[in-house]
Amino acid sequence: MKSFSKSWIKSKNPKKQRKYRANAPSKIKENFLSIHLDKNLKKKYLCRNIRARIGDKIKILRGNFKGQEVKIESVDVKHSKIYSSKIVRTKKEGSTTKIPLEPSNLMLTDLNLDDKKRLKILERKKK
């Protein structure tokens, strides 16, 4: 498998797009976890999107769970997926599993501001 190319800009070929995302280093994969903010948060923090963190409240915009507001339980950087304890699928034998959510199908409605580092990021984006 070929290593990640920093010079790659864009391509219409879906195979190349998937390859770029799959081979990207974790620092770049973190950027794939950015979620759009709702109108009130956009006005307050003067930015369009921010990286998802545990404890944030999100609204699901697409899929079977459309319209639900849930809290983020875990974030998978490697696969660029977000999980919540309320969004589950029941298996045939009766057990439940969490359904992975794609960040592009979500909107942040409330931020978890317990982390000082995150506050600094929002202040920097404001300027």
Question: What one-character-per-residue DSSP string does 41-53 give?
Answer: HHHHH--SEEE--
The CATH code belonging to domain 34-126 is 2.30.30.30
Q: How many residues does the chain have?
A: 127
N- to C-terminal Cα separation, the chain: 41
Q: pLDDT tens string for the chain (127 positions)?
A: 567 777 888 899 999 898 888 889 988 899 999 999 999 999 999 999 999 999 999 999 999 999 999 999 999 999 999 999 999 999 999 999 999 999 999 999 999 999 888 888 888 877 7
SS3 76: strand
pTM for the model stands at 0.85
Residue 2's identity, in one-letter code, is K
Continuous segment of H or E residues that includes residue 37:
strand 34-37
Domain spans of the chain?
34-126
